[in-house]
């Protein structure tokens, strides 16, 4: 006979594009009893169609009264602070989608609430759980390309605007940069703190959904001195990510188009080629596993509130330079 698994009470707040993915994967777990919350009935119905849901709510305050142990905040970023603070004050472990908040003042209030609570707080920078980004991090840590001096990274993601269940990205000022703090997060993870940012922005292209800006190009300098150019747009469809990092002993290339991490050393042929293809769900499942493990062992989350705050500060220093 299978041993009885004690179910954790989890609540997903915000059942839009990413909330439905979190809910689907959490609802499939044997060790989770899932509730969901969204003010839009269709989003609740679509979520419940995809996975096993115990209870559903339209108001997160009512949902928190049912005493979940874990809350997953998947609403637009302008609501992260209010929901995160309410959840922490009710004694719940919080997983909050990135970015930490839509502005530094709200993010500071989350930090204060996390400090006052003794609850776990994790932020959903999911690229850190992917095979591709873990592989690159491990190669950098092993100094396979020596010390990084510079590089180029890019991101294109028009589908983000198409897949969203609300107009949150169209309404959020600087949404391209705030949404793709993913790129700032992984660069800080790879290379350490950022010391300077400069950039340019534009609203371009014949596209139906057009935010201002929808094209950003910038340069980040790290405390190590390394200089990275970062290009982002809400134009490319299908979207893509690419990375080229240059060290004093070689280069690393990665693109989501090929799903290969390729290392070059002192020859024209690759020194190493690593296949990093995987199902998109894998990194989210790993993110959930790590969050639950962290709550049990009382260890820090991989990306905690302070770490995500530093990423948001870098994003706002870039936004200030664009203004
Ligand atoms: N980690 C990732 O890869 C990833 C991917 C996409 C989005 N995100 C982040 O997740 C968040 C949501 O993005 P999305 O693309 O799913 O947006 P979305 O517009 O598709 O979904 C937002 C959902 O929140 C709901 N909502 C609004 N107000 C609410 C409230 N008061 N209570 C409960 N629900 C409420 C909306 O009805 C909608 O269903 C954003 O912060 C975004 O940056 C992260």
* pLDDT, tens digit (0-9, with 9 covering 90-100), for 235-254: 999 999 999 999 999 999 99
Decide whether any atom of ligand 1 lies within 6 Å of the 126 Cβ. Answer: yes
Total tally of structural domains belonging to the chain: 2
Residue 313 lies in a domain: no
pLDDT, mean of residues 162-188: 96
Nearest CA to ligand 1 atom 39: 16
**CATH code, domain with 14:** 3.40.50.720
Residue with the bigger pLDDT between 296 and 186: it is 186
- In a shared domain, residues 32 and 76: yes
Structure tokens at 122: 């994790």
- In a shared domain, residues 267 and 299: no
**pLDDT of the residue at 2:** 64
**pLDDT of the residue at 299:** 76
Decide whether any atom of ligand 1 lies within 6 Å of the 283 Cβ. Answer: no
- In a shared domain, residues 81 and 213: no
Nearest C-alpha neighbor of 50 from the set 287, 277, 279, 281: 281
What phi and psi, each to the nearest 5 degrees, are found at residue 40? Answer: -95, 115
- In a shared domain, residues 33 and 51: yes
- In a shared domain, residues 291 and 273: no
Closest ligand 1 atom, residue 168 Cα: 19
pLDDT, mean of residues 29-42: 97
Q: Which of 277, 295, 314 is the last residue of a domain?
A: 277
% of the chain surpassing 90 pLDDT: 95
d(CA 20, CA 14): 8
Residue 312 lies in a domain: no
- In a shared domain, residues 254 and 293: no
Structure tokens at 140: 């950098």
- In a shared domain, residues 194 and 67: no
Residue 311 lies in a domain: no
| DSSP 3-state of 143 | coil
Residue 33 lies in a domain: yes
- In a shared domain, residues 117 and 211: no
Residue 310 lies in a domain: no
Q: Is 1's pLDDT higher than 90?
A: no
Phi-psi region of 14 (alpha: psi -120 to 50; beta: other; left: phi over 0): left
Best substitution site from 14, 181, 291 to test ligand 1's pocket, by max atoms within 8 Å of Cβ? Answer: 14
Decide whether any atom of ligand 1 lies within 6 Å of the 51 Cβ. Answer: no
User: What tens digit of pLDDT does each residue of 182-215 get?
Assistant: 999 999 999 999 999 999 999 999 999 999 999 9
Q: What is the largest CA-CA distance in the chain?
A: 64
Residue 323 lies in a domain: no
- In a shared domain, residues 61 and 118: yes
pLDDT, mean of residues 289-296: 94
d(CA 303, CA 292): 14
Nearest C-alpha neighbor of 91 from the set 57, 125, 114: 114
168 Cα–ligand 1 center, Å: 8
d(CA 227, CA 172): 29
Best substitution site from 71, 74, 164, 171 to test ligand 1's pocket, by max atoms within 8 Å of Cβ? Answer: 74
d(CA 180, CA 98): 9
User: What tens digit of pLDDT does each residue of 56-69 get?
Assistant: 999 999 999 999 99
- In a shared domain, residues 97 and 212: no
Residues 6+ apart with CB under 8 A from 10: 26, 32, 33, 34, 35, 68, 69, 70, 71, 72
Closest ligand 1 atom, residue 126 Cα: 1
Decide whether any atom of ligand 1 lies within 6 Å of the 15 Cβ. Answer: yes
Decide whether any atom of ligand 1 lies within 6 Å of the 166 Cβ. Answer: yes
Residue 110 lies in a domain: yes
- In a shared domain, residues 194 and 296: no
Residue 320 lies in a domain: no
Closest ligand 1 atom, residue 166 Cα: 19
- In a shared domain, residues 293 and 236: no
Residues 6+ apart with CB under 8 A from 209: 158, 161, 162, 170, 234
Which residue segment(s) compose the domain that 223 sits in?
131-277
Decide whether any atom of ligand 1 lies within 6 Å of the 284 Cβ. Answer: no
**CATH code, domain with 174:** 3.30.360.10
């Amino acid at each position: 006979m299978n041993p009885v698994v004690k179910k954790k009470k989890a609540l997903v707040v915000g059942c839009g594009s990413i909330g439905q993915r979190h809910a689907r994967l959490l609802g499939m777990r044997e060790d989770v009893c899932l509730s969901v919350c969204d003010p839009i009935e269709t989003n609740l119905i679509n979520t419940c169609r995809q996975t096993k849901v115990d209870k559903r709510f339209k108001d997160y305050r009512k949902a928190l009264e049912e005493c979940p142990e874990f809350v997953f905040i998947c609403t637009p970023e302008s609501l992260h602070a209010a929901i995160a603070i309410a959840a922490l004050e009710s004694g719940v472990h919080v997983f909050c989608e990135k970015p930490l908040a839509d502005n530094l003042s709200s993010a500071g209030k989350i930090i204060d609430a996390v400090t006052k609570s003794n609850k776990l707080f994790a932020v959903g920078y999911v690229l850190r759980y992917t095979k591709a980004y873990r592989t690159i991090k491990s190669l950098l840590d092993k100094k396979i390309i020596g010390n990084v001096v510079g590089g180029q990274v890019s991101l294109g993601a028009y589908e983000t605007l198409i897949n969203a269940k609300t107009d949150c990205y169209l309404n959020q000022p600087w949404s391209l940069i705030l949404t793709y703090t993913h790129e700032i997060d992984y660069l800080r993870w790879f290379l350490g703190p950022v010391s300077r940012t400069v950039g340019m922005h534009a609203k371009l292209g014949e596209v139906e959904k057009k935010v201002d800006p929808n094209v950003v190009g910038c340069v980040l300098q790290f405390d190590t001195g390394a200089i990275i150019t970062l290009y982002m747009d809400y134009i490319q469809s299908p979207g893509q990510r690419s990375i080229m990092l240059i060290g004093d002993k070689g280069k690393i290339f990665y693109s989501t188009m090929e799903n290969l991490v390729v290392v070059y050393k002192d020859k024209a042929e690759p020194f190493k080629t690593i296949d990093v293809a995987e199902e998109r769900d894998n990194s989210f499942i790993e993110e959930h596993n790590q969050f639950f493990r962290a709550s049990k062992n009382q260890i820090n989350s991989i990306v905690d509130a302070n770490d995500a705050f530093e990423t948001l500060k870098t994003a706002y220093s870039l936004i200030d330079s664009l203004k």
